[in-house]
Amino acid sequence: MSEPMIEVVNLTKQYDGVLAVDHISFTIAQGEIVGYLGPNGAGKSTTVKMLTGILRPTEGSIAIDGLDLLKDPIEVKRRIGYVPETGGLYESLTAYEYLHLVGRLYHLPEEVLDHRVEEFLKLFGLQSFMHERLSSYSKGMKQKVLISAALLHNPKVLFLDEPLTGLDAHSALLLKELLRRLAAEGKTIFYCSHILDVVERTCTRVIIIHKGRIVADGTVEQLKELTRQGTLEDVFKQLTYSSDIEELAQAFARSILGMEG
């Protein structure tokens, strides 16, 4: 196994007495694509925010590329790229201006930056919109800009939080293929998602988090074997839901239809 690129030990986050992330530990090797799954409120986004240096953990340590995130946050941040789930853009800027700002924050030389910005926008089909303000972009177009911004400085580790939100089928396929290529080139990818199907097809390993704790960690095949389930969706359901989903949906429908009567 190659050198660990992400090393998390006893990571904990507590908000006003509530444990959002409860002493989780894992190691991710260089070149791995790890799917990080969990139901709403499980602690996925909190984990990613701690791993990207946005939130300070209550307890525990994070090392990325051998550097301690708490001791050397700036050096770690130079090595990572992050696609957030929501927000993350100055909508009064154009895509061209926004990407230039991001590149300059990473001290990229102007010629390199110009070249990369134009190329990324061209690859994502945004070239003809690059001088329009981001506020006029659709959700998918904004997502493409966010992905471009995360890749602009050629990071060693990529954190993606629901990266396919709003992307059309073609762009989603492009991104999935891109992730596989990047992993093959030695980039480490931490992929947070609700879309189990995509995780099953894209990720080499899956971590499932529930109520702030890791409840499963392994390859998709290992998890299926362990839980004796046929699909990742069944594995996920077994590990994270206490009540019957069909029953819940039926009660909901009864409530809505009852209003008509």
**Amino acid (1-letter code) at residue 172:** A
Residue 73 tokens read as 């946050």
Q: Is the dihedral of CA 244, 248, 254, 257 positive or negative?
A: negative
Measure the CA–CA gap between 112 and 180, rounded to whole angstroms: 24
- Residue 104 sits in the site that holds other proteins (CB under 8 A): yes
Q: Least CB distance from residue 102 to other proteins, whole Å?
A: 7
- Residue 110 sits in the site that holds other proteins (CB under 8 A): no
Direct distance between the N- and C-terminal alpha carbons of the chain, in angstroms, rounded to an integer:
63
- Residue 64 sits in the site that holds other proteins (CB under 8 A): no
**Amino acid (1-letter code) at residue 82:** Y
Q: Which stretch in 95-103, 171-179, 191-199, 209-217 sits in contact with other proteins by CB under 8 A?
A: 95-103
Per rule CB under 8 A, count of chain residues that contact other proteins: 34
Measure the CA–CA gap between 12 and 20, rounded to whole angstroms: 8
- Residue 55 sits in the site that holds other proteins (CB under 8 A): yes
What is the pattern of x (binds other proteins, CB under 8 A) and - over residues 137-156?
-x------------------
Q: Which stretch in 51-59, 194-202, 222-230, 250-258 sits in contact with other proteins by CB under 8 A?
A: 51-59
Angle, to 10 degrees, between the axis of helix 169-184 and the axis of helix 139-151? 10
In the list 2, 15, 41, 177, the residue contacting other proteins (rule: CB under 8 A) is: 15
- Residue 16 sits in the site that holds other proteins (CB under 8 A): yes
DSSP category for residue 97: H
Burial class (CB in 10 A: 0-12, 13-18, 19+), 202: buried
**Subset of 155-184 contacting other proteins (CB under 8 A):** 159
- Residue 222 sits in the site that holds other proteins (CB under 8 A): no
- Residue 109 sits in the site that holds other proteins (CB under 8 A): no
Measure the CA–CA gap between 208 and 38, rounded to whole angstroms: 6
In the list 1, 74, 245, 256, the residue contacting other proteins (rule: CB under 8 A) is: 74
**Amino acid (1-letter code) at residue 26:** F
**Subset of 192-211 contacting other proteins (CB under 8 A):** none
| Three-state secondary structure call for residue 142 | helix
Site residues (vs other proteins, CB under 8 A): 15-16, 18, 46, 49, 52-56, 74-75, 77-78, 80, 82, 84, 87-90, 92-93, 97, 101-102, 104-107, 133, 136, 138, 159
